[in-house]
Structures are given as structure tokens and as C-alpha cells.
Amino acid sequence: MKKSVIFLAIAIIVLGALSVAAQEGRGTGRVRGKVLDEKGKPIVGANITMVSDEFTATFSAVSDKNGEWAIMGFSGGMWKITASAPGYAPKTKLVRLTQLARNPLITFTLKKGEPGKAALAPGSKKIFDTALEAYNAGKYDEALAGFQKFLEKNPTLYQTHINIGNCYRKLNKYEEAIAEYKEVLKYEPTSVQALTNLGECYAKEGHLDKAKKYFEKVTAQSPNDPVVFYNLAEIYFNAGAVDDAIENYQKALELKPDWPPAIIKLGYAYLNKNDIPKAVTYFKKYLEVAPDGPDAPVAKQLLEQFKDQPPNK
């Protein structure tokens, strides 16, 4: 009976470990803004793209007749928002957005095109949106072709290599994905998203030493961000490096005490090591801080099954 319980828990862990990664930056956030020219007049049809170094999700919008745009459905964090329009030099702003409160209005004032700064090629917005839709639908081959076509039309938008790399990663073509992420590092050596995804690819190939080198660069840039350590823990866990996963879940919890996702994952991780007493400790802790949380039913079930477990393994 005990053995079957552990197998059940392992299945739960594998599914649970994918939860944050699957969301890929999606949430309940909302942000609005305007795109104006130098005279303060609205720019109609400006393309707005929103990307993050923490998540793989990309959001987009188009300004209306009043130059206004809106994006919703994202997670809180640092986001790069770029406004571009034919005949104008694109502009990017790095802003911290939240899901918990109203975000400030973000206004872009675009100048007429400058040398060396090309506007988005005609028809590119539709190509990108179609590729993104295919990606979100799990049609990764179709998405890959779309993102590659978009990059051909807009070769200066190096961030697209992230999207292409993500498609290869979903297709388990890790060598190709690694090459794409490294292209991003040529332009932006500190890109958290590229560094994290490189580490994940190497981890999935079983090259944990290489993976750790990239992860160390990520944590050096964001030493106080619990989400960074949490996501690294998820990658380690899926790669079978449970001890490394535990270390990073604990770092996340040190930075954000009583954080339910990190607490429950520590319980699952210790259960995977068959360290039942420690697993029980974290399951109880989870129910204290999140009695109605999504993992509460599983935590209660496991505690019930382990209630007669001796204190030592």
C-alpha cells in the first residue's frame, strides 16, 4: 500500500511541476496605453508587443482610431512593451506590471523613422499572430514556420529567436533550440528568458553541469526573485535532479515565506525521495497557509495515508 501511494504521489508531482511552466506568463493582469506622434496625435494601427525574460508568453495588440490599446491575461512581473508603426522608429519600455491592482497608463510617443531603425514589415503582424495562435494550440511545427517567416521579414527583431527556440523545445529538438537561444544572447547577453531556456534544454539532454552554468547567471541577475528559483526548481525536478530542485524550492521559500506553491512542491519533492516525515511536514504547512488551495485535497489525502507512518523512515 505504501509503495502504491508513493507511485501515485510521483505522478502528481510530475503533473504539478508543469503547472507554472504551462502558464508561461498568463494570469489576470490588465494594462492600457496610447500611441501618439510627436505632435500628440494618435497613431492608428500601431503594433504593440509585450514580452518577458521570465516567461515564454508573448502578448500583442493594435492601437485603435484614438491611438489606444489594451492587453490582458498576463502574470505580474517585468515586461518589455514595444510600440511600432510604419514610418516611425519603434520604442520599447521596461515596466513592472501587476495582477493585483490597476496598472498605470503607458503612453508611447513615436518619432518619424530614423536611420537603421526599420518599422515592422507590412503583413508581419498577421504572420506573428497566426504563429502565436498555432503555438498556443500546440501546433508547434506550424508555429515554427510562422515565426521563421516573421523573422525573415523583420531580421532586426532578434527576440523572435526566443519564439523559434520555444517551438524547437516543444518539439524536443534541443540542439536547434539551443542555437536559437544563443542567437538572442549575441544581442542581449543578460536575457533571463534565453539563459533559463538554455539551461532547461541542457537539463533535458542530461547535461546538468552545463545547465547549472546558465542557471547561475540567471540567479546572479535576480538573487531576490523567488519566481526565478521556483522555476529553476521545476526544471531540475523534471530533469530528475530532485536534490537540486529541493535546494531551489527552499531558496524561493526563503525569499517568499509561506508561499503555497513552493511549500507543496517541497512536500512532493521529499515524497519523491521517500522522506515521508519531511514530506508530511510540508503538506501540513501547506494546509496551514492555503487550506482551500488547489493542492489541498491531495495534501489531505496523503496526510491521511501517512498518519500511521513512524517518525523515521
Give the tens place of pLDDT for each residue, 121-164. Answer: 888 889 988 998 999 899 999 999 999 999 999 888 888 899 99
Mean pLDDT calculated for residue range 29-57: 84
Mean pLDDT calculated for residue range 46-58: 73
d(CA 313, CA 302): 16
d(CA 12, CA 233): 16
Give residue for cell 510521483: 10
pLDDT band of residue 24 (cuts 50, 70, 90) is low
In a domain, residue 20? The reply is no
d(CA 171, CA 138): 10
What SS3 state is found at 71?
Answer: strand
In a domain, residue 142? The reply is yes
pLDDT at 54: 63
Give residue for cell 515565426: 147
275 and 200 co-located in one domain = no
In a domain, residue 120? The reply is no
In a domain, residue 199? The reply is yes
The helix, strand and coil proportions of the chain, stated in percent and rounded to the nearest 5, come to 50, 15, 30
245 and 305 co-located in one domain = yes
Q: Say what the pTM is.
A: 0.57
pLDDT above 90: percentage of residues in the chain = 41
pLDDT band of residue 57 (cuts 50, 70, 90) is low
| Domains in the chain, number | 3
211 and 264 co-located in one domain = no
Q: Is 240 left (phi over 0), alpha (psi -120 to 50) or beta?
A: left
pLDDT at 192: 78
In a domain, residue 93? The reply is yes
In a domain, residue 119? The reply is no
Average pLDDT score, the chain: 83
Give residue for cell 515554427: 144
254 half-sphere exposure, CB direction, 13 A CA radius = 10
251 and 210 co-located in one domain = no
246 and 288 co-located in one domain = yes
Grid cell locating 21 = 511552466
Query: The domain spanning residue 156 has which CATH number?
Result: 1.25.40.10
96 and 148 co-located in one domain = no
Q: Which of 11-25, 37-51, 80-94, 282-296 has the lowest mean pLDDT?
A: 11-25
pLDDT at 297: 93
Residue where a domain stops, chosen among 215, 240, 270: 215
193 and 234 co-located in one domain = no
The residues near 256 (Cβ < 8 Å, ≥ 6 apart) are 226, 262
226 and 313 co-located in one domain = yes
Q: In the chain, which ranges are E strands? A: 26-36, 47-51, 59-62, 68-74, 77-84, 91-97, 106-109
Residue where a domain stops, chosen among 71, 92, 109: 109
Query: The domain spanning residue 34 has which CATH number?
Result: 2.60.40.1120
d(CA 181, CA 161): 6
Residue where a domain stops, chosen among 189, 215, 241: 215
90 and 41 co-located in one domain = yes
In a domain, residue 115? The reply is no
In a domain, residue 44? The reply is yes
Per-residue model confidence as pLDDT tens digits over 75-133 = 887 788 888 777 777 788 878 888 777 888 999 998 886 433 456 788 888 998 899 89
Mean pLDDT calculated for residue range 289-302: 92
Q: Which long-range contacts (CB under 8 A, 24 or more apart) does 60-63 make?
A: 60/125, 60/128, 60/129, 60/132, 62/125, 63/34, 63/35
230 and 312 co-located in one domain = yes
Domain that holds residue 290: 222-313
Alpha-carbon distances of 148 from 83, 132, 141, rounded to whole Å: 21, 12, 11
